Structure 1
Amino acid sequence: MPLDPTYAMIRRYREVTGFTPLYKMSVAEARHADAETEAAAWDWHEHPEEVFDVDFTGPAGRQTVRVYRPRSDEPLPMVLYFNGGGFVVGSLSTSDSICRALSTMARCVVVSVGYRLAPENPFPAAVDDCFTAVKWAADHAAEFGADSRRIAVAGDSAGGNLAATMALMARDEKGPEISAQVLVYPPLHNDMDSKSMRENKDPMFFNVHSSAWFWNHYLANPADGDSPYASPLKAAEHGGLPAALILTAELCPVRDEGEAYANALSAAGVPVEHHDYPGLPHGFLAVAAKLQTSRDALALMAGYLRRRLGADPVNSTEDAVPATKERVPSGV
């Protein structure tokens, strides 16, 4: 399918203004450029009742989470959210509007997790930080009005990888119990030779070269990519994992990894919903201010979280569907 019209305009603008891909920059330059892009992209978001930062002791010292909470007199379900950025760029601010939207639309406490970045802190630093935060949030949920019995993990891009990894680690470590995972265009395999990886080379968007650049910074030793906590698709067993919602984009190099993960989970008996968005590249949630399809995707995520974290999430048959490569048109 051709490139979405909104993204076609973005592409033309980038061509005219001399856009430079992050993979052609130094790490410091990439972080600066990414921060500027995020600040410009989000001028639409929801407004939870409360947004505040909390510090606690992580593996490397002080670690920060940002808590988003809608008004409620009762404990609310909790979603641990992990921002994208290829494990190299990004921050709590990167996912601020996504977290605001999910908290308001899904009626849940969202805890956005800050973690150390590569290459200064390569794998497994981010994984260690994130799992420490998951355990800390489960233990302290009542302090910010959350219900530790109803927890989901979610993330976009590298954050989707980390969310999938948290689900694996929680299963392997016998807790905390995770009820659902929401993975948005996640990279799940460090060296997968896929059709989508070979096809997507457009320098105006996240592409095959972007993927390699981020993985090369994240993995100090390429052999670390064989760990299921770096590449969840390489896990020997996917059974016993929480129900999953996986969103992929047609014009994204990691699209096939998301589809393969949906199939692996489904084959292991895990309830899965997989939605592939035609005509869109990696990162499309970032243009929710301009693209209705992106807002629809956020609404889909919020609805899924409401169902899975509701009064009877385990026994809900509405979500127990096989993995599908569903084409989702705008407005659905």
Structure 2
Amino acid sequence: MLDPQAQALMQLMVEKGVPPVNTMTPAEARASYRSRRTFTQPDAPEVFKVEDRVVSANGVNVPVRVYHPHAAQTEHALPGLVYIHGGGWTIGDLDTHDVLCRSLCLQAKVVVVSVDYRMGPEHKFPAAYDDTVAAFNWTVAHAKELGIDPARIAIGGDSAGGNLSAAACIGLRDQKGLSVQPAFQLLIYPATIMWPDTASYHANGKGYMLTKESIAYYTENYLRNREDAKDWRASPQLASSHAGLPPAFVMTAGFDPLRDEGLMYADALSQAGVPAQYICFERQIHGFITMGRVMQEANTAVALCAQVLQAQLHNSPR
């Protein structure tokens, strides 16, 4: 059964005549996503300090927003989380995920670096992937001034951000001469296979916010062609090996077209000997974690992610 609060939200969107994302231009879709956030998201909690910075890599400037949980940070370095927002590689920004990043910062007691990576269709694959890797490497290089312990930096994100986080962990594992790897990966209903053909894709591809049509819209905005879908940077499930990757926490939603690929990825990690935890919020829809004003389970999911991050990062050796 669908969560009644999720059902009510979807019914309201129908009544309000919110158009499907795939019927809008990317600019319209971005504006719509930004404007809806105040209705569905909780009030932004206060953190100690927020600073906007810029990652310069490969001739590209990538804006990031850094969240610091408390003043006591000056006394010892804290773990970090490089956060990659969702939005189908097309929509979303630092503001659409501001509340979630603040919440994870406070509840997990970590410094969060939120990444405003380049998106399609203006910037095609692998631009978003390149920016994600660059942001992690920048965070490691600037760890001391950010008050972060470089040995305890996680990477994570939701949906497209989960896809980019998973792929970045693979790329960073294989990057020559890299002294620091991500300590953990937080994958919230991640996309792990482009152009999926799973049972959940077919069962949940209509009527639950994220549809087959919107998935196609996002994918076509991001990828240059169908060949890109075979690249592990786009479809991390297809990597030749998942061994040696950081421990993972994978969260999915039961009424999400992406549910099965999240589970498949957790299983692929486990089969490769990577410690992986998996949980499915069976009655939820894709995108629910940012909807804590209208869905109680969203706040539970945020608290669970924070609890896992805290257990993994604060209890690891300094």
Question: Which TM bucket (shorter chain)?
Answer: over 0.9
- Give the counterpart of 2:313 among 309, 313, 319: 309
Aligned residue number for residue 285 of structure 1: 289
Deviation at 1:52, TM superposition (A): 0.9
d(CA) in 1 for partners of 2:144, 2:100: 23
- Give the counterpart of 2:130 among 128, 131, 134: 128
Counterpart amino acid of residue 257 in structure 1: E
Contact 1:21 1:204 (8 Å CA) reproduced: no
Deviation at 1:47, TM superposition (A): 2.1
**1:299 correspondence with 2:298:** no
**1:50 correspondence with 2:68:** no
**1:230 correspondence with 2:234:** yes
d(CA) in 2 for partners of 1:295, 1:149: 29
d(CA) in 2 for partners of 1:248, 1:17: 27
d(CA) in 1 for partners of 2:225, 2:114: 28
Give the unaligned 5+ runs of structure 1.
315-332
TM-score under structure 2 normalisation? 0.95
Aligned residue number for residue 268 of structure 1: 272
- Bigger shift: 266-275 or 69-78? 69-78
Aligned residue number for residue 69 of structure 2: 70
d(CA) in 2 for partners of 1:60, 1:96: 26
1:51-97 per-position Cα deviation (integer Å, ceiling 9, x unaligned): 11012313343221100011122110011000011001111112111
d(CA) in 2 for partners of 1:92, 1:242: 25
Aligned residue number for residue 155 of structure 2: 153
Aligned residue number for residue 30 of structure 1: 29
Aligned residue number for residue 109 of structure 2: 107
Counterpart amino acid of residue 143 in structure 1: E
d(CA) in 1 for partners of 2:55, 2:200: 40
TM-score under structure 1 normalisation? 0.91
Aligned residue number for residue 258 of structure 1: 262
d(CA) in 1 for partners of 2:219, 2:187: 18
1:177-230 per-position Cα deviation (integer Å, ceiling 9, x unaligned): 111100001111002210110111334511222111111111012101111111
Contact 1:76 1:109 (8 Å CA) reproduced: yes
Give the unaligned 5+ runs of structure 2.
none
Q: How many pairs does the alignment contain? A: 313
Counterpart amino acid of residue 219 in structure 2: W
d(CA) in 2 for partners of 1:310, 1:17: 44
- What is the Cα-based RMSD across aligned positions, in Å? 1.5
d(CA) in 1 for partners of 2:3, 2:301: 15
Identity percentage over the alignment?
37
d(CA) in 2 for partners of 1:226, 1:313: 37
Q: Which 4+ stretches in 1 moved above 6 angstroms?
A: none
Counterpart amino acid of residue 254 in structure 1: L
